[in-house]
Amino acid sequence: MRLRALLIVAAVAACASAPAPRVAREGERMVTVNGAELRVHEEGLGDALPLVFVHGYGSRLEAWRAVQPALAQGRRTVSYDQRGFGLSERTAQGYGPEAHAADLLALMDALHLERAVLVAHSYGAGVALAAALQAPERVAGVVLVAPFALDEQLNATLRWAKVPLVGEYLYATSFRGFSGEKYQLAFNDGGRFATLSALDEVEAIQAIPHSDHAALATVRAMDYLDLEARYRDIKAPVRVVWGEADRVTPIRTLPAFAARLPQASFVRVPGVGHMPSWEAPGVVLENIEAVLAAAGGG
More confident residue, 202 or 57: 57
Exposure class string for 67-101: b at 16+ Cβ within 10 A, else e? bbeebbeebbbbbbbbbbbbbbbbbeebbbbbbbb
User: Is the per-residue pLDDT at 170 higher than 90?
Assistant: no
pLDDT in tens, 84-129: 999 999 999 999 999 999 999 999 999 999 999 999 999 999 999 9
Query: Residue 175: is its pLDDT beyond 90?
Result: no
Residue 175 contacts residue 13 (beta carbons within 8 Å): no
Q: Which DSSP letter does residue 119 get?
A: E
What average pLDDT does range 214-233 have in this prediction?
97
At residue 197 the predicted structure's pLDDT band, cuts being 50, 70 and 90, is: low
% of the chain residues with pLDDT over 90: 74
Contact 16, 205 (CB under 8 A): no
Per-residue confidence (pLDDT) for residue 23, from 0 to 100: 53
The confidence score (pLDDT) of residue 4 equals: 39
Q: CA-to-CA distance for 180 and 171, rounded, in angstroms? A: 16
Q: Can you give the residue ranges of every domain in the chain?
A: 2-293
pLDDT tops 70 at residue 161: yes
pLDDT at 16 over 50: no
What is the CATH topology of the domain spanning 2-293?
Answer: Rossmann fold (3.40.50)
